[in-house]
Structure 1
Amino acid sequence: MSAPSSWRSPDAATYARIEAQAQEVYDGLTALLALGAEVPCVAANTRQALSAVWQILNDLGVLVEQPQDLGL
């Protein structure tokens, strides 16, 4: 799937903010998973959210652990 014709690559500062915000979300979700791993609804939904955010960070080229390292 290609980007819409009106899509423009963000400038470096915006790109850095996107990476930082995505990393912050990822870190928060990994902390939530650690706290709520014993609660089935928390564990299942947090894993699903982590999978999506992991894909964002992977596409951006940010180095994070592999999904299987988190049991996803």
Structure 2
Amino acid sequence: MTTSTVSEDLLGQPLSPAEQELLGAYETLKQLASRDDLPPCANSNIRKALAALWQATNDLNLQYEQLYDLGV
């Protein structure tokens, strides 16, 4: 289980433990998406999962970024 070291959302509100875990999972998927040594099936599914998790973290104001450079 990965947790983030960020303690506040973009609006300055403290993150709940669940939000910290969600942001940690998002960061882990970003790291996996940046790798070039994964099989195509894993690569595709990681990007799909990252896109879904991006939407959740964006809606919760946990991050604001675009993932175009990772192919998402």
TM (normalized to structure 2)?
A: 0.65
Corresponding position of 1:4: none
Q: Where do 5+ consecutive residues of structure 1 fail to align?
A: 1-11
* Structure 1 residues 29-68: aligned runs within 5 Å: 29-36=29-36, 38-68=38-68
Shift of 1:36: 4.9
Whether the aligned pair in 1 keeps the contact of 2:34 and 2:70 (CA below 8 Å) is no
Provide the alpha-carbon RMSD of the alignment: 2.2
The structure whose residues are more often helix, as a share, is 1
Rg: which structure is higher? 1
Structure 1 residues 68 and 37, CA, compared in 2 at 3 Å: closer, same or farther?
farther
Distance in structure 2 (CA, Å) of the matches to 1:42 and 1:64: 25
Distance in structure 2 (CA, Å) of the matches to 1:55 and 1:40: 23
Shift of 1:35: 3.1
* Structure 1 residues 6-21: aligned runs within 5 Å: 16-21=16-21
TM (normalized to structure 1)?
A: 0.65
1 or 2 for the larger relative contact order (CA 8 Å, sep ≥6)? 2
Shift of 1:67: 2.7
> Percent same amino acid among aligned pairs?
35
Q: Where do 5+ consecutive residues of structure 2 fail to align?
A: 1-12
Count, aligned residues: 60
